[in-house]
Chains A and B, each alone.
Chain A
Amino acid sequence: MVDEAVYLQYLSGLLAGDRTRCMETVSLLLEKGTKPEHLYTVFQRALYSIGELWEQNRISVAVEHLATAITETLLAAVYPIILSGRSKIDKKVIVSCSVNEYHQVGARMVADIMESHGWDAWFLGANTPAEDLLLLIQEKKPDMLALSISIYFNMASLGKLIQIVRSNYPGLSIIVGGQAFRWGEADVIKPFGNVTYFPSLEKLIQEIRLKG
C-alpha cells in the first residue's frame, strides 16, 4: 500500500494542478515496485477527496476538471504496465457510464483493474447511449457489465439503464459503483437481482481475487 505522506504529496500536486509533480510521485512509486492496482486506489481516493472539496465549495469546478485530466494522463502512463504484466483469463467485462454521466475516469479505472486481473475489458466511456451499450453486449457477450456514476442526479437514469439491460439480458451480472453512491444507500439497485454495488476499488479487487 502507499504511504500516507506520499498520498498527501500526490493530493497536493493534484490540487495545485501540477501534472509534473503528480507524474514524478507516480514514477517514484512505480520504481519502488508499487502495484498498478495500489496506485489506482490512490487515484480514486484523491479524486474522491477533490470531489468532496468541490461539493463543499472549497475548490472551483476548473480545479476538479484539471485534476481529472491529470489523472487520465497518469492512467495512460500506467496502463501499458498493466497490459504487459497480466495473464489473460477467459472472462469479459463491458465498462460504461450511464447517459448524461460525463465523469468517466472512475469507470476507466474499473476497466483497467479488471484487465490487470486478466479480464478482457471494453471501456465505452462517458455518456453512453443505452442502444450502443446493448449492441456491444450483444456482440461481445460479456460475463459482466460494470456501470459507473459520479453525479447523484444521474441515479434515476442509471436505474432506467439497468432496467433496459436486465429486460434484454436477464442473466447478465451487473456491478455498479462511483462517487454518487457515497451520498447514501444503493437503493436504485434493490429492485434488481444480480446487481452488486462496490463502494471502492479495493472491494472490487478483493472480489475479483476471490472469484478468480
Chain B
Amino acid sequence: MTDRGLQATAWSYIYENAPLLFLHIDSRGKVIAVNRFTEERISGDWKKRELNEIILSFSGALDLEKLRGKPDSIHLMHVATKSNLPETFRVMFFPLEDDTLIFGSLDADETAHLRREMIELNNQLSVLTRELQKKNHELEDLNRLKNQFLGMAAHDLRKPVSAILNYAEFLMDEARSLLNKEHFGFLKTIHDSTALMRDVIDDFLDISMIESGCFEIGLSFADIMEPVEKCVDLNRLSAQKKGIALIVISDDKIPALMMDSVKIEQVLNNLISNAIEHSPPDSGVEIRLSIKQECAVVSVADTGPGIAPAERDRLFAPFTKGTARKSPGVKSTGLGLAISKKIVEAHGGRIWIEEDNEKGAVFAFSLPIKHLQKGGWK
C-alpha cells in the first residue's frame, strides 16, 4: 500500500469507525469537523461553535496556541454527552497549518474501574434488597400475629365487660333508692369506666378486623339523614352539658346512597363526638350536607383549637392523637379516625380535614352517589 493509500485508509477509519474523539478546529477556534464517534457522543450541535461551548471543563487553560505547541502532552477534557452524563477523555492537540486537530480517548482503566465498582455496588444492593424484603415479610407476619392477638383479646374481653356494664346499669336503675349518695357515685364510676372500656374494646376489634383484611360492609340504599339525625340525638346530651348547639344544615337534597348505615353512623358519631369534645363551652358544632362532584359530602365543624397542618395526615393513622386539648375527663384510644377512614374508603369515599379554616377544625367525608340503572349500578 502506498503512503497516500495508507493515509486515506487511516483517516477513513478515524472518521468512520474509531472509538476516538476527533475534532478539527479552525484558526478562529471554531469546530469545523468531527468524526462519527464524536458526533454520536457529544450533545448539541457542534457546527461552527467554539470549542469551549461544547466541552464541560478542561484541565488547565484552554489556550489552543499553547496546547498545539506541545502535541506530546495529554490533557483531561470533560464532554457533555447525549446520555446527559459527562465523560472524560484524555486528549492531545496537534497543529495542522493554522488549524488544530484534537484526538481523545476514553480512559480504559477508569472505565474498567467504574464497571467493577458498579458491579460490586449492584451486588451489594441486591443482597440488601433481599434482606429488606425478608425483614418486611417478617414484620408483616408479626403485624398479622399482633392483629390476631388484639382481635382475640378484645373478643374475649367484650363479653365480661358487657356483663359488668349491664349489671351496673341494672343496679343504677333498680338499687338507686337503697344506696347512699357516695355508694351511688361509686356505682356510676364503675358504669362510666366500663362503658369507656367497652368502647376501647370495640375500637380494638374494629382495627384488628380492618388490618387483617376481614372488615366487611353491607351496602344498601339508604337516606344519609337517618344516621345524621340518630347521631345528633345520641350526642345531644353531652353537647347540652357544655352548652354546645348541634346545628344540621343541608345545602342540597342528597339522594339515597349505597352505604352501610351502621358503619356510616359510626363515622358520624366519631366526628360529632370529637367536635363536641374539642369545642369550648357555649359554642356550636355545625353538621353540613352538600353535593360536590357526584359525591355526597358531610362536614363537621367545631370552634375548638383546630388542627396543626403537620398533624392533618397523621391523625388518620392508628393510635395517633392530636395535640389539641380535649375537654377534661375525655379519653380516647386514637383509633376513631383510623377506623372512620377505613369505613369511608370501603364505601369508595374519602375523608379529610379542611384546610384554610379560620377557626376550629372541619372534618369532612364524601360518599359517591350511585344511580340505579338498568342492568346494575352506575
**A residues in contact (CB < 8 Å) with B:** 65, 69, 72, 75-76, 79-80, 83-84, 102, 104-105, 108, 111, 123-127
Contact = CB atoms under 8 A, between A and B. Distances in A.
A113 to B, nearest CB: 13
Contacts of B156: none
A72 B127 CA distance: 10
Given A65-B115, A65-B119, A84 B137 contact: yes
Which of B120, B130, B133, B136 lies at the interface centre, i.e. has the most chain A CB atoms within 10 A of its CB? B130
A123 B128 CA distance: 10
Nearest to B119: A102
A81 to B, nearest CB: 11
A102 B137 contact: no
Contacts of B134: 83
B122 A69 contact: yes
Contact of A79 (B122, B123, B130): B130
B115 A72 contact: no
A124 B123 CA distance: 10
Given A83-B137, A102-B123, A105-B126, 7 more contacts: A72-B126, A80-B136, A83-B133, A102-B120, A111-B130, A123-B127, A125-B124
User: 10 nearest interchain CB pairs?
Assistant: A125-B127, A83-B137, A126-B123, A72-B126, A76-B129, A104-B123, A79-B133, A125-B123, A80-B133, A102-B119
20 contacts: A65-B115, A65-B119, A69-B122, A76-B130, A76-B133, A80-B137, A83-B133, A83-B137, A84-B137, A104-B127, A105-B126, A108-B126, A111-B130, A123-B127, A124-B127, A125-B123, A126-B120, A126-B123, A127-B120, A127-B123
A72 B122 contact: yes
B126 A125 contact: yes
A127 B119 CA distance: 11
Contacts of B133: 76, 79-80, 83
A83 B119 CA distance: 26
A124 B119 CA distance: 15
Which of B115, B120, B122, B124 lies at the interface centre, i.e. has the most chain A CB atoms within 10 A of its CB? B122
A68 to B, nearest CB: 8
Nearest to B124: A125
Contacts of A80: 133, 136-137
B139 to A, nearest CB: 11
A104 B115 CA distance: 16
A76 B126 contact: yes
A104 B120 contact: no
Contacts of A108: 126-127, 130
Contacts of B129: 76
Nearest to B137: A83
B221 to A, nearest CB: 36
Contacts of A84: 137
A159 B298 CA distance: 73
A47 B124 CA distance: 20
A14 B129 CA distance: 21
Nearest to B129: A76
Contacts of B126: 72, 75-76, 104-105, 108, 125
A204 B123 CA distance: 23
A125 B130 CA distance: 11
Contacts of B137: 80, 83-84
Contacts of A79: 130, 133
Nearest to A65: B119
Contacts of B119: 65, 102
Contacts of A125: 123-124, 126-127
A110 to B, nearest CB: 12
Interface in B132-174: 133-134, 136-137
Contacts of B127: 104, 108, 123-125
A72 B123 CA distance: 9
Contact of B130 (A65, A102, A123, A127): A123
B25 to A, nearest CB: 32
Nearest to A120: B134
Nearest to B116: A102
A75 B136 CA distance: 16
Nearest to A105: B126
Nearest to B140: A84
Contacts of B130: 75-76, 79, 108, 111, 123
Contacts of A123: 127, 130
